[in-house]
Every structure is written in C-alpha cells, then in structure tokens.
Chains A and B, each alone.
Chain A
C-alpha cells in the first residue's frame, strides 16, 4: 500500500504508525480551542514521519507549490537539493539526481535521455522504456491538484525496481475529497503565453470525485533560433469511494523542436524545425486498505516526430502487503507485472531492428523492517526482477537508523541498483547521413547492442537531521556511489559508401564512475510571517571511459560532465497584511561542460507577489530577473538560452 500511495517513507517506517494507533488519546478530552490546533493526518499523509525516514528525502508541499514561481513540475524541482534541472528549450528539461546530467555517450541527442531517475504520478511510472528517461513535456498534472512531491535521492530500487538508480520522484495528487468545489485559473506572460485550468469537485453516491481540463500555449525561446513553442491540452478525473480509487487522464499536444534529418548532402543544414505530435491517456484503479494494496493501470503514449516516434501501451499490475510478524519484525512484500507493447516505432532516421511485440517484466520484493530497540531500527530487503533483455536482476538495500532524541536523527544506508537497457540501446539504429556535429564526416550511425548489460550502482549514504528549534530544520546527507557497466558509445571503423564517409557507433558498457556529494537543506520560520529556506548541493563526478571497450572521443578520465559541481537555492517568503504574499527565490549553478562547450555559472532571481481576496487570487511573477538570458545546458547544438520573463495569474475559487 505504502509503496503506491504514501510511498517510500511509509514502507520504511510502517511500524511507527501501527504503534501509534495503539496509544490513541481520547480526543473528546480536548476542548474546541485545542482541537482546532490539531493537525489532520489522513491515511496517505504522515508528514511527521519524514523526520525519521532513513533516506535522503525532500518533500515539496502544496504550500511550497502555491508560493513558488513555477508553472510546471520541472521548474518546481529546482528547489530540491541534489536535483539538477536544466532547461534545454521551452519544452525540454533534463532532470537528474546526484549527477549524470547530459552526459550520455557522445552527448549527441543523448542529453535528452537522462535515464537514472524514476518518476511516478500517483503510482504510475512515467519512465519511457523506449529511449530511457522521462518526457517532462507530457506530465501536465495541474499544479493546484498536487498534494506533495516526494523526492528520494539515492537508490529506490528495492521498492521501485530498475531505473530508480539515482532517485525517485513521486508526484502525489490530492484526494478528491480535498478538492471539493472548484476553481478556474487564467495565466498570461512572456513565456506562458496563455494557459488556463478549470476544475470541479463534487460528491455523489458515496463517491468523491473531481474532473479537470487544462490547456496552455508556450512561446518559443530566443527569437530567430529554433521554433520551440508548444501547446497542449489535458483533461482528467479522479474518483474515490471508501477503499477504491479510479483515475485517468488524456492529453494531446504539439511540441516545437529542432530535429536532425537526413539531407544526404554536405551543403545543407541537417536541422529542421518541426512540430512533434504527442498524445496519450491512462486509466488507473487501486484498492487499498491498511495492510494491502492492489493496483492496475493502462497507459498509452504516442509521440510522432520526423526522427523518433512510437506508440506504447503499458499494462501494469502491482500488489503490496504489510505483515506485522512480531513486535520486532514488520514485513513488506509485493509482486508486480509490467507489459509494454510497442508499435509505429520506425522512422527514416530511427529504427528498431528486431520487432518485439511485447516486453514483460516480472518482479517481487521483500523487506523486513526490524525494531531493534526503541531508538535503533534496521531495514533489510531486496527486489528481484526478471526482464527479457538482461534477465535476472537483484536490488538489495540495508538501512540503519538511530533516533538519538526528538531533535536528532541519524541514518545510514547501502544499496545496489540497476538500470536496464532501453529498447533503443538494445535493438535501435539511428542513421544520419549528414552529421554536422562532426563536420569532417558525412554519416553517423548509432546502433544498439544485444549484448548490453545493465548499468549497476553500489551506493553508500549517511544522513543526519536536526531541529535546532521548534521552527527550524536542518537536513544533511552525503553519498558515495560506484557505477559500473555504464552505457556509452564506441566508434567502429569508418567506411565509404557512394563517396560519403560514414562513422558507425555502437552502445557498449564502456564507462565506470565514482560520484560523491553533499546535500544540505535548512529552513527556519523566523517570524510568524517570515519563512526562509535554502539548500546547497555538492556533486562530484569522476566518469571514466574504459579504453579497451570504448574509444568515444569526447570522454576521458575523471569527467565531471554536465553536472554542476556546486549549486544552491535560497527562498524567502513573507506573509504581508491584507492577504498579500511576497516571495523571493535565488538560485545558483556552477558551470557545466559538454564536449568542451561550457555553459557558464549563473545566478538567477525570481520574485512573486500574491494577493488573495475572498475567493480571488492574483499573482504577479518575475522569472530569471538578473540577466536577459542565461544558458543552463552546454549542448550548444540543441540547448537554447533561458530568457528573463514574467506572468500574471488569476485564480477564482467557487
């Protein structure tokens, strides 16, 4: 149950709240004044447990979302320590945890396939198995409906399976009974040209439900360069009755982008502007009680670009159960089945050479959560997975935690995680007969490899949380991760065909890496009306190519790549009289490098002024105010600079 709805933390510390039930205070002994100060905790929301979670976790709350300048989930994630968000174009972001932003093989298009973070929306995985990674342009959950986003840094493999190597991002929407009534929003600005969301929530026949529709049109970035404007519409619903939950979404959009195409001549530019058509839908149903959860969903994704495209149906079943064996042992186990069915995958440029109708994954996990003493807890568990590409995979983890007292908490963890090869890395062919990034060549060919093994990670973590005062919190975590069998490209022998020179590349397990880092976050409510929070992230990568396996020219030894060494975030929020709010956000990122191209360090400022009056809310937002434009990603062939901008948003509740 907790794996899905109230994810990782709850599974870690299930025993905490089973114990809690047994020592219930009689609420009728409290008077109304006291009752009105008691915080409600619903079955899915146990925020107090985050403090004693033995993992590096950060939670973006609904309040954080309301006070942020973000209009999309990727922009929201900038506040999370350890998470690196780079905006590539107006519709593309690369988002990584603890390193590996951008650097994927040669960097050619690879930047878009950052592939070691798993993302779930209400228990539905949105990681694409075709190219590996997450398409952030089609995850348009209305921000108003998000209850919280839990970001878990470090391996989540034991609970979530393959591809949760560097972390898990859990987007959890509000329960329908919390979104009764409705609202309309309208936003217009320099980048968000026009967007609007309409939602109604009601109840009938014991069901609480909501339905929403949202649409937007985003302007292109820098004028005169690639046409990266985009527009999208999405609708959906969620309904809940007792222990049953049903929800679904559908979307369609047109995404402007620049694509390399086959020109077959050396003279013309291989990039063209195109509108990629995206559409999809999903339907999810879940039964959940205190001890078990059964979930099923069907997700359809379609993307059609000149160079890449596919239709993918995913059917997923998941069962999780908790068993309190003894006072000391709490067992969590589960089983899952995932079926991917692909179609329409070939274009002139990209093909999957071995048609594979179905791709199945069977998985099970078992975890024992042991209460050694009141203060000392130990968790041991593993995922066991079977997939058709790399067959058996195992993802164990061990976590130890020590609660010194109410204000100090220590934890340590060791875990192993894997990333299974994407469909393209196994059986794909990318064929470009005119490759400007390599001007002395005429043809570029990238092909997958059947022999590819999983990428493996062994991670070691140490964390500490402290509450200096009742109003403040400090959270520190450090990690040291060892990666082996990382996927990269190796060049084969060039050949000449019809007078043109071709250079073939193939995916190989040709890199290793050692990464270490430090993440510190702190927050303090200095006054009743003034909150400050901030975080600092150090991420050191040492990527090493194994010369006997890969000869990739752009790689070498101890490469930091496109992950900034230092990054920081600072936010201050004022609650002013008469319903006004004023928020300021500063963020800093070190320089990043790809293929010797440098994106310089940047410091940026966002400001937000909000005003709530009765059922109306007006927000004025300025974004990236310190400079007219800044570059976040060094991949100059694709990445655009991010511009200064702003928007106004009006919300009416009813």
Chain B
C-alpha cells in the first residue's frame, strides 16, 4: 500500500514518466550519460568509450539508450572490454588512471550505484578519484550520497 502513494508523489514531480517502467539498468545508463558531462579526459579520441564487460543486461540497455548519441562532439560507444575505456563499469576494477570506474568502492572503484528507497543514487570514494588523472566537476561530486 505504501508503495502506491510513493509512486503518486513521484508522478507529481516527474509526470513525463507517467506510466512507465523504469529499470535500474536504464537509470544507470542515463546516470553514466550524465557523468560524461562533468568529467574531462585528456585524450582526443572521437568517441566516449563506455566499457561494460560484466553486466550483459546493462550493456544491452546502455547500448539501446546511448548508442548514436553524442556529447562534446564525441560519439558514445558502448563496448564489451576492460581497457582503453573512458568509463568502466565492472565489479572488479583494475584502476587505470584515466578511466572513470564504477563498481564497488571497496574494490577500488570511484563511483558506486546504490538503490535507496527504490531510487538510484551514487556514492564516491574521493581518495580513488584523487589518485586518478581525471578532472571531475565538484558539481557532480556534490550529488553523491554517503555509503553506509
């Protein structure tokens, strides 16, 4: 019962999403798309390479949602590999210093997705971010929630 009116509150603020089914995967993909806006990479490749090696579902959803889109004149490419990535979503993160890693903070990732009260949030490990060569806007970091 409680869920019912939680949904109604939501309908109020995001009416665009009216009757829709929003999977965690599609939200994660949309988050990743937004992350790209707040991060500067030093390379000059024509693409943003989003590597999703482990999670097949997420890769499919992200491909459907993001392929063909462009940001800062770069095309977005969702790929199944672990090297030469701008963003790497993996449960075990090797930590190349110019890759934004999403996974488990305890395993060395910079970002971790959390589902809190049925909503997707993210937490950050500021040490791991400082160790990298990435420039991440504080606007993004401010949106992070603490991980319990």
Give the interface of A toward B (CB within 8 A).
16-17, 19-21, 23-28, 30-43, 46-48, 50-51, 58-59, 61, 63-64, 148, 178, 203, 206, 242, 406, 467, 470-473, 475, 521, 523, 525, 531, 533, 614-615, 653
Contact = CB atoms under 8 A, between A and B. Distances in A.
Nearest to A21: B21
Given A16-B19, A27-B30, A39-B22, A50 B3 contact: yes
B45 interface: no
Contacts of A406: 11
Of the listed residues A33, A42, A203, A472, the one surrounded by the most CB atoms of chain B closer than 10 A to its CB is A42
A42 B19 CA distance: 14
Interface stretch (B78-86, B94-102, B118-126, B127-135): B118-126
Interface of B: 1-14, 16-24, 26-27, 29-31, 33-34, 54, 56-57, 65-66, 69, 91, 115, 118-121, 140, 143, 148
Given A467-B5, A523-B5, 8 more contacts: A28-B29, A28-B65, A30-B30, A34-B14, A38-B14, A43-B23, A471-B5, A471-B9
A38 B5 contact: no
Of the listed residues A16, A32, A41, A203, the one surrounded by the most CB atoms of chain B closer than 10 A to its CB is A32
A36 B121 contact: yes
Nearest to B57: A242
Contacts, number: 137
A37 B119 contact: yes
A615 to B, nearest CB: 5
A148 B121 CA distance: 22
A283 B36 CA distance: 45
Contacts of A21: 21
Do most interface residues of chain A lie in helix, strand or loop, or is the interface mixed? mixed
A38 B2 contact: no
A208 to B, nearest CB: 10
Given A16-B19, A41-B21, A59-B1, A32 B31 contact: yes
B62 to A, nearest CB: 10
Given A28-B30, A36-B121, A42 B5 contact: no
Contacts of A30: 14, 16, 30
Contacts of A28: 29-30, 33-34, 65-66, 69
B82 to A, nearest CB: 16
B34 A32 contact: yes
Nearest to A407: B8
B4 A39 contact: no
Contacts of A41: 21-23
Nearest to B33: A28
